[in-house]
């Protein structure tokens, strides 16, 4: 087949379509989360002025000073503007997992066992890494 006229296969097309919608929705979430944070439409865990005054602190010290949750405990505070803004970033960082899940379905339907397995293993590794089970050396 002539490379100039080659077309993407079904898996590439699905991955691209899902990535387009996931990233578009992610950008909308980031903008909304930022607006909610800046305009303080929901109460904040840490006021913006306190962030500016404590900018010199490391994350661990800031968490300790303001009694902020660590790990995935932030999920329980979703009705706070700063946490909601953070959640939009978490969603956007999970875009790869969503795309891989969609393409894994394509591979499965095509009975492509090797690619289905690879996609599934990639999803497992990403979910495992995001889970925080293995610390980052702290």
d(CA 90, CA 71): 12
Q: Tell me phi and psi for residue 8, to 5 degrees.
A: -65, 145
Structure tokens at 78: 């979703």
**Predicted model pTM:** 0.79
pLDDT in tens, 4-36: 667 779 999 999 999 999 999 999 999 999 999
Rounded Cα distance between 17 and 102, Å, is 10
Distance from C-alpha of 110 to C-alpha of 116, rounded to nearest angstrom: 9
Q: pLDDT tens across 67-87, in order?
A: 888 888 889 999 999 999 999
DSSP 77: G
| Boundaries of every domain in the chain | 9-131
Contact 120, 97 (CB under 8 A): no
> How crowded is residue 17: how many other Cβ atoms within 10 Å of its Cβ?
12
């Amino acid at each position: 087949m002539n490379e100039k006229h080659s077309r993407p296969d079904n898996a590439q097309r699905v991955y691209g379509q899902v990535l387009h919608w996931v990233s578009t929705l992610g950008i909308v979430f980031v903008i909304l989360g930022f607006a909610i944070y800046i305009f303080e439409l929901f109460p904040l865990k840490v006021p913006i002025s306190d962030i500016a005054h404590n900018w010199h602190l490391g994350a661990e010290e800031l968490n300790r000073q303001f009694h902020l949750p660590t790990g995935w405990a932030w999920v329980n505070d979703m009705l706070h503007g700063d946490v909601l803004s953070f959640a939009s970033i978490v969603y956007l960082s999970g875009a790869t997992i969503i795309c891989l899940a969609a393409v894994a379905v394509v591979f499965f339907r095509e009975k492509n066992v090797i690619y289905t397995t690879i996609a599934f293993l990639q999803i497992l590794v990403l979910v495992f890494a995001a889970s925080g089970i293995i610390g980052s050396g702290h």
